[in-house]
Amino acid sequence: MNVSASLIVSATLIVFGGIFTRWQTTTPDLDQQVLDQLKKAGSDLSKPHDIEFFLYFADEESANTASREVKEEVDAVKVQRAAQGSGWLCFATRRMVPDHGELVRLRKRFNAITLKLKGEYDGWGTEVVK
């Protein structure tokens, strides 16, 4: 992956040419902001992108429960230890044309899942597709 050509969403920083944003329920339309940044970076938003979704939990059982619910919405999902700390990551991927309405719907769905299981939805990321 060419890091300078990637766009990843997950924290409030600009790092390695990517845009990072932490999801909050009362923020402006972050999905549209990210789509605008993808377009500005040269991504062809009419083409399918491999979009990655990040849901974090305190324990493996909650992450596994989330994976069963998320599975309905994505192409693939796996549970693994989080890269930092003692938490667990439910990592989901879906190949899709990055459609604003669908991304908003998925964000709301994943936020509801993490709220119910006392986890945190940490957004989505994708590489620039030319």
DSSP-derived 3-state class of residue 101: helix
What is the C-alpha to C-alpha distance for residues 2 and 113, in angstroms, rounded to an integer? 32
Residues 6+ apart with CB under 8 A from 35: 45, 98, 100, 103
Report domain extents, the chain.
Answer: 3-127
For β-strands 49-57 and 6-8, DSSP reports them as: unpaired
Instruction: Report pTM.
Output: 0.79
Give dist(CA 21, CA 30) in Å, integer.
8
Superfamily for the 3-127 domain: RraB-like (3.30.70.970)
Residue 16 confidence (pLDDT)? 32
pLDDT tens string, the chain, 130 residues long: the values are: 433 344 444 332 223 334 444 444 445 788 999 899 999 999 999 999 999 999 999 999 999 999 999 999 999 999 999 999 999 999 999 999 999 999 999 999 999 999 999 999 999 999 999 9
> Nearest CA to 122 among 78, 90, 100?
90
**Which of 37, 15, 18, 26 lies closest to 98 in space, CA to CA?**
37
